[in-house]
Structure 1
Amino acid sequence: MSAPTTYKIAAIPADGVGAEVVAAGRTVLDAMAAASGGTFAFDWTEFPWSCEYYTRTGRMMAEDGLDVLRDFDAIYFGAVGWPSVPDHISLWGLRLKICQNFDQWANIRPVHFHPGITSPLRKADDADLDWVVVRENSEGEYAGLGGRNLSGRGEGNEVALQTALFTERGCERIIRFAFDLARERPRKKVSSVTKSNAQQFGMVLWDETFTRVARDYPDVETESVLVDAMAAKFVLKPEDLSVVVASNLNADILSDLGSALAGSLGLAASANLNPDRRFPSMFEPVHGSAPDIAGRGLANPAGAIGSAALMLDHFGLQAEAARLNAAIEATAAAGVLTPDVGGNAKTDEVTEAVLGVLSEWPA
């Protein structure tokens, strides 16, 4: 028997419930590896970078952290943020530092409606709703360009500039990524989202790039929608969605809306991808650190376990990823649910239920 493929994974639980859900995902992944018949294995290294690390060192991650992470096959991330550290420091010092320096320009956020979980959408009761938000993850509104000046003029006179960056290359690569993804889905459709009626430079460039790229995909249906209209469409006509591609800020907001419509942000998985594979990609739930429930065993691990499935898919283990997603669905359908989706199960009980489903199915 050939030696298993061993994937080197950097685990960064970070803050709050991040530690709990990363532990859950690692348990599930290790169990799948053990049951793979020697096909694959995981070699984990955990890093303590977090707001607590910042309190001790004045840094959100080690000074050579990026150099250390560069040699891993993937990064499995928990959540960042704690009341003792300003959010812009914790986010830019860890998560965004990794995303931007590793050019993880494609952020994938599936919006999936699980059986057994009540959605606030009435249409979810009798429509097959399932779409994915593709987020430009390297520039746009989160490029970090700008500054604060003129505070010397006195109180109330300071000026802050926040500049959104749109490049034709950045727009084209994420739009092509969305079209390629749409070709793999049952409904081949891409919805582009901007606010180009009011933001007449960067988002007009996005619109023009979308129109040009669409000509190379005549088999894919397209539409261009303003972000406010798309927010309404998420609620009023979600059955018309398949792949939604948008800028950093717009996709961030819309994907959270989608997860809330599916029942909870605790369900939301994501992948920060460097599709060129020059750097490791990073996989994380999007629910945040949730300080109010941290340490109480109440966090929903579904988002982190779903992110683990996205990591399996990234490694080319598509069948294993599909099995894991199906196990999450089966667990929800069986009513093993955390409080955020109307249940009373603990984090470890949901994890054990997923493991139980996987153990009943042939690998």
Structure 2
Amino acid sequence: MRIIPVALIPGDGIGPEVVAEAQRVLDQVARMSGRFRFQYRSFDWSCQYYLAHGKMMPDDGLKILQDFEAIFLGAVGFPPVPDHVSLWGLLLPIRREFDQYVNLRPVKLLRGIESPLREVAPGEIDFIVIRENTEGEYSNSGGRLRQGTPQEVVVQNAVFTRYGTERVIRYAFERAVHSRQHVTSATKSNGLNFSMPFWDEVFRSVGQAYPQVKQELYHIDALAAYFVTRPKSFDVVVASNLFGDILTDLGGAITGGIGIAPSANINPEKRYPSMFEPVHGSAPDIAGRGIANPIGQIWTGALMLEHFGLMAEAELLIDAIEATLLDGVKTPDLGGRHTTRDVTDHIIQRLTAWEKAPE
């Protein structure tokens, strides 16, 4: 049996609640599979840790994490710690030091969820967004001069490398080869006159090696509109760090809300651990009330299973999520009256019923 060491960082707010529920589901999938089990170790790195220690994780935190095969994260962020402190103190160092240059987010309308878009049925929205995750607009480059004065100057540099741009675009094309063979690239080359023409050139250059794949370039403003007006037309979308961040939240909105959306921060070569986290935030307003939606965290667990090549187990888990939604078991954010634990219990019941069903 394969043993997969996983670092748990439950984090803040609803993070510990949904991570605990996802663990229960993943352990049930592992028991049913018999091919693997997860070996967990939990870390209390969070905003509470920051308030106690003045930092989001210990100085040797990255060294500790490098021995794991995956990091399973809940949510980070809680008042009074500023968001930029929590982000730059934990998530971004992990993504960059472990070269998690692919951020992968499915945009999929599950059965049992009604899209806010008219005349869109489950199965008709089903694509992925590949976001460059380590450079671009979120590069730690720039500064502020004469701060607080009328002459203040603020510079925020976007840094794009050919190496970084080529590899994430190539990853998108490889995903498309095994999907519906269609890649769409987000750009803004009519306004950002250095970085985006460069991005477009690399996209076209990499695309030459994939003549069988349909290739399209859209300006980000038009592409955002197309997510709403024709979401059925997409297969794989590739975007820079900032554009991908915005598009994926929009993708979550058209498929039921970011409360159920999963994401993966992947080092495709597996030289370092990859990190899996739901898109939702820490939601301090509902923390401790037992009504947080665990589906985003559980679906994120399915992405982790896929990363380890456990495709059948991942598909079974998504089927159980959809069956639960179809049964009407939903938390208040989806219009239901069930608790966090109710949803998890029903997903596990679905899995158990299938395990015991006669062939």
Render the CA deviation track for 1:144-172: whole Å, top value 9, x for unaligned.
Answer: 11111123xx6222211111111111111
**Aligned pair partner of 1:60 in 46, 56, 62:** 56
Output aligned runs, 1:97-116, within 5 Å.
97-116=93-112
Q: Tell me the distance in 2 between the aligned counterparts of 1:322 and 1:227.
A: 32
Q: Does 1:28 align with 2:25?
A: yes
**Aligned pair partner of 1:360 in 332, 337, 353:** 353
Residues 341 and 34 of structure 1: CA distance in aligned 2, closer, same or farther (over 3 Å): same
Q: Tell me the distance in 1 between the aligned counterparts of 2:293 and 2:130.
A: 23
Q: Does 1:251 align with 2:239?
A: no
Render the CA deviation track for 1:107-131: whole Å, top value 9, x for unaligned.
Answer: 0000110122121101313871111
Q: Tell me the distance in 1 between the aligned counterparts of 2:178 and 2:322.
A: 21
Offset, 1:336: 0.8
Alignment RMSD (CA, Å): 1.2
Offset, 1:361: 1.6
Offset, 1:317: 0.7
**Aligned pair partner of 2:7 in 10, 15, 21:** 10
Determine if contact 1:129/1:239 at 8 Å carries over to the other structure. yes
Q: Tell me the distance in 1 between the aligned counterparts of 2:123 and 2:346.
A: 27
Tell me the residue number matched to 1:165: 159
Q: Does 1:263 align with 2:256?
A: yes
**Aligned pair partner of 1:129 in 125, 137, 140:** 125
Offset, 1:362: 3.3
Q: Which runs of 5 or more structure 1 residues have no equivalent in the other structure?
A: none
Q: Does 1:236 align with 2:233?
A: no
SS at match of 1:232: helix
Determine if contact 1:274/1:280 at 8 Å carries over to the other structure. yes
Determine if contact 1:166/1:203 at 8 Å carries over to the other structure. no
Tell me the residue number matched to 2:174: 180
User: Which amino acid counterpart does residue 92 of structure 1 have in structure 2?
Assistant: W
Offset, 1:105: 0.1
Offset, 1:17: 0.8
User: Which amino acid counterpart does residue 155 of structure 1 have in structure 2?
Assistant: T
Q: Tell me the distance in 1 between the aligned counterparts of 2:286 and 2:115.
A: 22
Determine if contact 2:109/2:122 at 8 Å carries over to the other structure. no
Offset, 1:36: 2.5
Tell me the residue number matched to 1:350: 343
Tell me the residue number matched to 1:214: 207
SS at match of 1:271: strand
Tell me the residue number matched to 2:187: 194
Q: Tell me the distance in 2 between the aligned counterparts of 1:244 and 1:349.
A: 35
User: Which amino acid counterpart does residue 165 of structure 2 have in structure 1?
Assistant: C
Tell me the residue number matched to 2:76: 80
Task: Give % identity.
Answer: 54
TM (norm. structure 1) is: 0.96
Q: Tell me the distance in 2 between the aligned counterparts of 1:200 and 1:350.
A: 48
Q: Tell me the distance in 2 between the aligned counterparts of 1:34 and 1:126.
A: 30
Determine if contact 1:271/1:307 at 8 Å carries over to the other structure. yes
Q: Which runs of 5 or more structure 2 residues have no equivalent in the other structure?
A: none
Tell me the residue number matched to 1:334: 327
Number of residue pairs the alignment of both structures matches = 356
Q: Tell me the distance in 2 between the aligned counterparts of 1:305 and 1:68.
A: 25
Q: Tell me the distance in 2 between the aligned counterparts of 1:322 and 1:221.
A: 27
SS at match of 2:137: strand
User: Which amino acid counterpart does residue 131 of structure 2 have in structure 1?
Assistant: R
